[in-house]
């Protein structure tokens, strides 16, 4: 950007930078020499060739990683493993202005718990929206384990739009997982607790009053928002429900949620009781919960389900009576539950068991149809015998957790936490195919589009909890290690280590990059968080500042401003001590990546104003003083000059009438010199315009946007020229020179945009049309 700018300027100013005449010549090293020097093997070079992405290159897949305790989402490319973005979700993110502008504060405020801001999250499981079981690339959902919340991110601009808080739960883990047409987003509890509306219930009443649950959040694809009023929850026993997955294809309409601590044990070391971990792992089996959401939805729609604390709640009694919920024992302290791409099998791994258990959906249905149960749990939920549901059990290794799928039928990959390995196996035939050591202690793992009905295979990412010795030491807190593995062949091959230094990411989902079509600019005057035209959208030339006071004498200053290279309009904001100041800024640019920022001394303000966006900030001007503000993005050659002052005057301040002190006095000669430069510049601009208009530039939206912005700048140049002419006519050389310089500033920006457009056309092989 800066280089382009310099080039544009040097063309305009007519300077050429000569290359230094003498420097030492060093011959380029050969591949063999570099390999020798860096100690690289043939295998390393092959791995590098599979991940290295030359400058300007793009990745085949985009991965969305949970940001763990950072409460964010991390976006990176595969196979390059280059981080592309952090998306602020439950946590303020200043670069994006998230949590610093009024629009995004409103999103974070939706996530308040009992009126309290909880501005972090423990994000675990991202999920991409689906259509007929395929990732459609429209939305991303992510959960917060610490507080039972789910967020909606729109992938047309990678911004968080909505946070919903579960009105019954006090923690969760089994979310976010979507049903095959994103009808619902699943969210299951983790730690049983009395439902929210009960407030305090002593822990002695655990079995009777504490509950788990599974919420199916209804999603409106038209609006792109979760609709809490249409969502429903299954009441569940006070087991620690864990992960979930939605049925697909054969098992469409059903959901699967496993659990641990079905012992219902409550620890209490301080009361002399053995700890939670002892009592929560004493039984050999826990329970897989099977829920029929399709039938539950019908009951809800028929008005047969009562609401509790604003949420439809299907009680255990109702679920049992209507045949909506069943249990199957699963060994032992399970963690992951994953439905195979064809929907025929459900794979569960017990952390304290060396097997993966493959349950058959067909067998489960047969048992339900025949009413063949081995008994009931203490709450009366029917239990299907393990032998009646099991397809296969495969010895994989120590500490199996999560499973993902290959493009090849029946091939799955399971993380082995204790062994620190990935196991590749065949779940139809029940045999192990390959194992690979990773570094170290893997949690989740993920294959390309691995949750969909048609996984792509190709790559697998192991999400490792410990990095230990893999990277340069950076203190006691290490980054996490995501390892890229090639799964295109029979044997897995480790390709690359990527340190992830932002929380402990749990799960990641990856989608084919060409399924995403994010916008490069907003519609003009857009409130991106509400996805609607902002009432504060301001057009060029319509900027204004208004001060109104109420009956109590409390005054509000409303600033309707704009930003464009290289000024903020207004440049001086005058208010009185005690005023509330509401600043609304619209970015007038259309050119790709022309973002402006806004920061002000003494106030927690940092805006990111992308092309077309309108953002607002509310400031209490409670202390008299001078408050410089400026643009925080290096947006143009005169970015540093993109500045202004908020003047907060003391309450009874009487202004003396005085002229502004000028720094430099200009003469007619200065004015004439500037005009000469401007006319030369205009000649360059005319050449660029002639090049653009003689080509089919209208076929390139990027160029059209650049031309629109350049036309704006030339319009401003014309206005400044008129002011310069008028001042010169009255021999006011001070203002004549300053306006002539402003005229030139607009020309420079127009020329810069024009040159970018010209370069784009040349590089894309545009056709000459006249």
Q: Give the interface with ligand CUA as residue ranges (CB under 6 A).
A: 596, 631, 633-635, 639, 642
Q: Binding ligand K7E by CB under 6 A: which of 90, 98, 107, 125?
A: 125
Select from ligand CUA, ligand K7E, none the partner in contact with residue 339, using the beta carbon and a kind-dependent cut-off of 5 to 8 Å. Answer: none
Cβ proximity of 332 and 316 under 8 Å? no
Residue closer to ligand CUA (CB basis): 608 or 747: 608
DSSP letter at 613 equals B
275 vs 272: CA distance, rounded Å: 9
Cβ proximity of 766 and 699 under 8 Å? yes
Q: Compute φ and ψ for 473, nearest 5 degrees.
A: -65, 140
* Helix residue spans in 287-332 (DSSP H): 293-301, 316-322
* Shortest Å, Cβ 687 to ligand K7E: 60
* Shortest Å, Cβ 634 to ligand CUA: 6
Cβ proximity of 463 and 443 under 8 Å? yes
Q: Which residue is nearest to ligand K7E (CB)?
A: 443
Select from ligand CUA, ligand K7E, none the partner in contact with residue 642, using the beta carbon and a kind-dependent cut-off of 5 to 8 Å. Answer: ligand CUA
Select from ligand CUA, ligand K7E, none the partner in contact with residue 243, using the beta carbon and a kind-dependent cut-off of 5 to 8 Å. Answer: ligand K7E
For position 507 contacting ligand K7E by CB under 6 A, the verdict is yes
Reference 293, options 244, 347, 330; nearest CA is 244
* Shortest Å, Cβ 242 to ligand K7E: 8
Tell the residue number behind the tokens 């089994």, with chain if given: 174
321 CB-near residues (< 8 Å, 6+ apart):
none
Q: Binding ligand K7E by CB under 6 A: which of 75, 81, 243, 358?
A: 243
User: Which string of b and e fits 346-373 if b means at least 16 CB within 10 Å?
Assistant: bbbbbbbbbbbbbbbbebbeebbeeeeb
Residue closer to ligand CUA (CB basis): 5 or 125: 5
Give, as ranges, the residues between 541 and 570 that touch ligand K7E (CB under 6 A): none
- Rounded to whole angstroms, what are the CA distances from 623 to 545, 550, 620, 627? 20, 20, 9, 10
For position 170 contacting ligand K7E by CB under 6 A, the verdict is no
Give, as ranges, the residues between 400 and 419 that touch ligand K7E (CB under 6 A): 401-402
For position 351 contacting ligand K7E by CB under 6 A, the verdict is no
DSSP letter at 16 equals -
Q: Binding ligand K7E by CB under 6 A: which of 161, 506, 596, 639?
A: 506
Residue closer to ligand K7E (CB basis): 186 or 559: 186
Q: Binding ligand K7E by CB under 6 A: which of 124, 211, 521, 756?
A: 124
Count of residues that interact with ligand K7E, criterion CB under 6 A:
11
Select from ligand CUA, ligand K7E, none the partner in contact with residue 95, using the beta carbon and a kind-dependent cut-off of 5 to 8 Å. Answer: none
Select from ligand K7E, ligand CUA, none the partner in contact with residue 567, using the beta carbon and a kind-dependent cut-off of 5 to 8 Å. Answer: none
Residue closer to ligand K7E (CB basis): 379 or 405: 405
Select from ligand CUA, ligand K7E, none the partner in contact with residue 692, using the beta carbon and a kind-dependent cut-off of 5 to 8 Å. Answer: none
Cβ proximity of 732 and 665 under 8 Å? no
Query: Bridge partners of 75?
Result: 64, 85
240 vs 189: CA distance, rounded Å: 7
What distance, in Å, lies between the first and last C-alpha atoms of the chain?
31
Select from ligand K7E, ligand CUA, none the partner in contact with residue 401, using the beta carbon and a kind-dependent cut-off of 5 to 8 Å. Answer: ligand K7E
Reference 4, options 586, 594, 589, 590; nearest CA is 594
Six-digit token string for 655 = 């202004």
Residue closer to ligand K7E (CB basis): 242 or 297: 242
Cβ proximity of 485 and 461 under 8 Å? yes
* Torsion sign across C-alpha atoms 241, 245, 248, 250: negative
Residue closer to ligand K7E (CB basis): 125 or 344: 125
Residue closer to ligand K7E (CB basis): 506 or 596: 506
Question: 310's torsion region: left (phi>0), alpha (psi -120 to 50) or beta?
Answer: left
* Shortest Å, Cβ 755 to ligand CUA: 19
CB atoms within 10 A of CB 680: 14
Residue closer to ligand K7E (CB basis): 508 or 595: 508
Residue closer to ligand CUA (CB basis): 358 or 564: 564
Q: Binding ligand K7E by CB under 6 A: which of 444, 482, 639, 749?
A: 444
Helix (H, G, I), strand (E, B) or coil at 178: strand
Select from ligand K7E, ligand CUA, none the partner in contact with residue 449, using the beta carbon and a kind-dependent cut-off of 5 to 8 Å. Answer: none
Name the pairing type of β-strands 355-360 and 307-308.
unpaired
407 vs 489: CA distance, rounded Å: 12
Residue closer to ligand CUA (CB basis): 314 or 642: 642
For position 443 contacting ligand K7E by CB under 6 A, the verdict is yes
Q: Binding ligand K7E by CB under 6 A: which of 105, 138, 149, 173?
A: 173
* Shortest Å, Cβ 550 to ligand K7E: 50
* Shortest Å, Cβ 632 to ligand CUA: 7
Residue ranges that bind ligand K7E, judged by CB under 6 A: 124-125, 173, 243, 335, 401-402, 443-444, 506-507
């Amino acid at each position: 950007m800066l280089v382009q700018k310099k080039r544009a300027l040097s063309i305009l100013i007519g300077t050429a930078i000569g290359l230094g005449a003498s420097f030492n010549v060093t011959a380029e090293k050969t591949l063999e020499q570099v390999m020798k020097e860096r100690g690289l093997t043939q295998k390393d070079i092959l791995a590098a060739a599979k991940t290295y992405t030359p400058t300007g290159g793009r990745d085949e897949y985009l991965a969305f990683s949970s940001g763990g305790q950072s409460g964010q989402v991390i976006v990176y490319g595969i196979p390059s493993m280059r981080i592309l973005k952090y998306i602020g979700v439950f946590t303020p993110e200043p670069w994006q202005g998230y949590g610093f502008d009024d629009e995004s504060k409103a999103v974070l405020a939706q996530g308040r718990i009992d009126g309290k801001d909880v501005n972090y999250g423990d994000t675990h499981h991202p999920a991409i929206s689906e259509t007929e079981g395929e990732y459609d690339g429209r939305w991303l959902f992510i959960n917060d384990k610490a507080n039972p919340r789910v967020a909606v991110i729109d992938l047309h601009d990678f911004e968080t739009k909505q946070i919903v808080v579960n009105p019954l739960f006090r923690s969760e883990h089994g979310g976010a997982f979507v049903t095959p047409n994103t009808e619902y987003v699943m969210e299951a509890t983790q730690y049983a607790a009395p439902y929210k509306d009960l407030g305090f219930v002593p822990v002695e009443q655990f079995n009777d009053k504490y509950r788990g649950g599974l919420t199916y959040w209804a999603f409106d694809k038209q609006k792109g928002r979760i609709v809490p009023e249409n969502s429903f929850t299954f009441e569940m026993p006070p087991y620690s429900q864990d992960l979930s997955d939605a049925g697909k294809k054969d098992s469409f309409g059903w959901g699967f949620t496993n659990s641990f601590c079905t012992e219902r044990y409550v620890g209490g070391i301080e009361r002399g009781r053995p700890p939670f971990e002892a009592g929560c792992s004493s039984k050999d089996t826990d329970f897989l919960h099977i829920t029929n959401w399709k039938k539950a939805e019908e009951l809800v729609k028929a008005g047969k389900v009562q609401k509790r604390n604003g949420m439809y709640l299907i009680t255990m009694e109702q679920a049992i009576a209507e045949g909506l919920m069943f249990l199957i024992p699963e060994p032992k302290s399970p963690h992951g539950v994953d439905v195979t791409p064809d929907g025929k099998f459900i794979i569960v791994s017990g952390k304290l068991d060396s097997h993966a258990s493959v349950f058959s959906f067909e067998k489960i249905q047969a048992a339900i149809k025949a009413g063949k149960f081995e008994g009931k749990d203490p709450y009366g939920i029917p239990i299907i015998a393990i032998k009646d549901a099991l397809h296969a059990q495969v010895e994989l290794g120590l500490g199996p957790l999560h499973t993902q799928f290959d493009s090849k039928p029946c091939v799955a990959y399971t993380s082995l936490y204790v062994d620190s390995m990935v196991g590749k196996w065949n779940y139809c035939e029940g045999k192990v195919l390959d194992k690979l050591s990773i570094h170290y202690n893997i949690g989740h793992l993920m294959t390309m589009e691995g949750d969909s009905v048609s996984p792509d295979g190709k790559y697998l990412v192991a999400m490792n909890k410990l990095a230990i010795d893999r990277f340069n030491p950076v203190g006691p807190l290490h980054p996490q290690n995501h390892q890229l593995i090639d799964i295109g062949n029979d044997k897995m091959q480790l390709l690359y280590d990527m340190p992830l230094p932002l929380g402990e990411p749990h799960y990641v989902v990856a989608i084919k990059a060409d399924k995403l079509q994010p916008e490069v600019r907003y519609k003009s005057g857009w409130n991106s968080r509400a996805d609607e035209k902002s009432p504060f959208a301001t057009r060029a030339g319509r900027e204004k500042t208004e001060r109104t006071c109420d009956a109590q004498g409390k005054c509000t200053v409303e600033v309707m401003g704009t930003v464009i290279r290289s000024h903020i309009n207004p440049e001086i904001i005058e208010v009185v001590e005690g005023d509330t100041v509401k600043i609304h800024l619209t970015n007038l640019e259309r050119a790709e990546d022309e973002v402006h920022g806004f920061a002000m001394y003494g106030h927690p303000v940092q805006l990111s104003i992308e092309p077309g966006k309108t953002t607002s900030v509310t400031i209490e001007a409670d202390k008299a003083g001078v408050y410089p503000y400026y643009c925080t993005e290096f947006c143009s050659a005169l970015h540093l000059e993109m500045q202004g002052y908020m003047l907060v005057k003391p309450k009874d301040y009487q202004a003396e009438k005085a002229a502004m002190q000028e720094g430099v006095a200009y003469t007619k000669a200065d004015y004439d010199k500037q005009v000469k430069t401007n006319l030369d510049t205009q000649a360059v601009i005319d050449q660029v315009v002639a090049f653009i208009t003689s080509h089919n530039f209208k076929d390139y939206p990027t160029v059209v946007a650049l031309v629109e912005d350049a036309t704006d700048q030339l319009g401003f140049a014309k206005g400044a020229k008129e002011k310069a002419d008028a001042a010169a006519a009255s021999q006011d050389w001070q203002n004549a020179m300053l306006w002539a310089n402003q005229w030139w500033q607009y020309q420079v920006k127009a020329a810069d945009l024009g040159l970018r457009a010209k370069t784009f056309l040349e590089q894309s092989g545009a056709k000459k049309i006249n």
